[in-house]
Structure 1
Amino acid sequence: MLDGLPTLVPHRIGNWCEEMVLKENQLREFLGKSTRNELICQRVERRIRGSRRPVKLSDVMEYDQNIMLKNLHTEGFLSIDVPDNYPDSVTNQDTFNLTTSLVEGVPVARNCFRFLLKDEYRTGNPEEDKKLRYGQKFYLVLNREFVQGEMYLSSTLKTLSSFSKYGKQQPAYVSFHKSNAALWKIDCIDPNIRFEMEGQLIEPGSPVLITHCVTGQHLSSDPRHIVRNDFSVEWEAACHSYKNLDAACRNRQELVQNHWVIFVGQDSAQSSDAGAVAESASAAV
């Protein structure tokens, strides 16, 4: 009966078939979007599937190997706050915000990074250049499973127009641009021996500070700054040095919001096993 009607009805027609025509138009539009994979549920599925691709961590803590960073205050791993345009329309001008997340306790595309040593710190000895040391400047690069091309963890000075969305602090984000804004170094958490520790090897499992070289602020995550996204409730990651301002405290040591632990393959496996044991115990109870 409606074969001769146009796809879109520019004016209202009699009530005897108006509702039927509108429903057919809605159905036709829905089927078209479904065919082109443009439905919201399809975009969300692609976004989650792409950001949760499994990644293999390195068994040793070295440069240019996949690692995870765990914040000791939120107990979450540094992760990408996946934007709505991922993965369909990502461009070289895009920047992605960061969170710490408890959702993925295993290595996936959105929470694995690589340390890339700055060229001026290379000695020419491949074995020595692999080892992580305090004070060396490096780039923190997102793993290759998330996007085509390299994205660098970066930060810029806090201004009236540039600040973290929830905490209003110095922003931390990943960008395709490799510049001085993407240079970082690892410092010892104890300010009394920080200078003496420069050049020393970083012990696996030891808490460290990740310092932005240009601004001197430390990478941080605070559970007061909540981010709600497609994955769950997470916490914003930014650049802000949390210090004890008590007059009785002389060393002004950075607080636990700035403390990070570098996870490699063995650490991740142990964490997964512990989580499985805890789940089994709670199920038994």
Structure 2
Amino acid sequence: MAHVRTYRTNVRIGNWNEDLRLEEVDLAVTKDGGLHFGDVVMLVNMGGENREYSALSINADINSLTKIPSPGIQAPCGISAGRGIQPCTRTAFIITSVDGSPEGSTLHFEQSFALKTTSGFARGLYLTSDLKNFQKCAKKSRLQEVNLTDDASFLSRWKVVHFDPQERLEYEGQPVLANVKVLIIHCKTNQALAVLGDQVLWTTYGKEYEVTAHTFLDSHKAEQDNNHWILCTSDPAGEGLVLLNRPQSVAKDVELTQANTSI
């Protein structure tokens, strides 16, 4: 007998928490090592001095939900970095074209794109940011806010750049590889997506890190690990995430592929 979800009036939309956290999502499987428009990925930060690794996640509470026209999250909705590295509705984002590039075509460094939640319960909302002001900023850090909206505007456009400033110009226009460290830059404000280990949010899912758009530079003018993200795909062998299953082989493959694409 097929499983049927029930949504009880006394909790407004019943088991919404499980829908976001536990329903599995199939991530993209890349055969050429690159990322493509239409790919479903997870955005993972590998952690740092004051934080564990974490994944960009929908941060919905009961006030972020609606029953119309069907149960799901509504815009605007919050974003956080959760420590559960599991492909699910909360952590799945679709690389979405904003310049007419067809689905399945390769994403390149410095090319504008959008990150969209999956359809259905997650409603296909866009990761969005804008310049901070007194009324609109991140709750804890007061830095530039990042959230989910239903507006596919210029505010929801991002680009991928190489994490090493000294190699950035060389890689401009080259294909973006999956499962490697990159920066994700907001096109309008030029601020990098960041996770903050010293700003902890108490969410429905436990303690999670605040996410903001802010570029953190070290003494050498290079972006710090707060800004380093990996766009994760599934292992072609069907054994989960490439990043977690084959980290050493992935690193070798990346070195070889990057050498070939730069020739």
Q: Specify if TM > 0.5.
A: yes
Which residue of the partner structure matches residue 67 of structure 2? 88
Q: Distance in 1 between matches of 2:136 and 2:72?
A: 20
Aligned partner letter, 1:37: R
Which residue of the partner structure matches residue 258 of structure 1? 227
Aligned partner letter, 1:222: L
Aligned partner letter, 2:36: E
The answer to which structure has the higher helix fraction is 1
Which of 36, 58, 67 is 2:28 aligned to? 58
- Percent of aligned positions that are identical: 24
Residue 171 (structure 1) aligned with residue 145 (structure 2): yes
Residue 114 (structure 1) aligned with residue 83 (structure 2): no
Count of residues paired in the alignment: 226
SS at match of 2:122: coil
SS at match of 1:216: coil
Report how far residue 49 of structure 1 moved: 1.9
Which residue of the partner structure matches residue 171 of structure 2? 197
Residue 97 (structure 1) aligned with residue 78 (structure 2): yes
SS at match of 2:147: strand
CA contact (8 A) 1:109 1:145 kept: no
Q: Distance in 1 between matches of 2:59 and 2:26?
A: 21
Which residue of the partner structure matches residue 76 of structure 1? 54
Which residue of the partner structure matches residue 9 of structure 1? none
Q: Distance in 2 between matches of 1:178 and 1:117?
A: 11
| Counterparts in 2 of 1:234 and 1:91: CA distance versus 1, 3 Å | closer
Gaps of 5+ in 1: 1-35, 275-285
Report how far residue 179 of structure 1 moved: 0.4
- Give the structure-2-normalised TM-score: 0.78
Gaps of 5+ in 2: 1-6, 247-263
Report how far residue 102 of structure 1 moved: 1.3
Per-residue CA deviation, residues 186-206 of structure 1 (Å, 9 max, x unaligned), is 011111121221111123321
Q: Distance in 2 between matches of 1:76 and 1:142?
A: 17
Which residue of the partner structure matches residue 119 of structure 2? 144
Which residue of the partner structure matches residue 110 of structure 2? 135
SS at match of 1:111: coil
Which residue of the partner structure matches residue 39 of structure 1? 10
Q: Distance in 2 between matches of 1:262 and 1:46?
A: 29
| Counterparts in 2 of 1:147 and 1:206: CA distance versus 1, 3 Å | closer
CA-based RMSD of the aligned residues comes to 2.6
CA contact (8 A) 1:50 1:87 kept: no
CA contact (8 A) 2:184 2:193 kept: yes
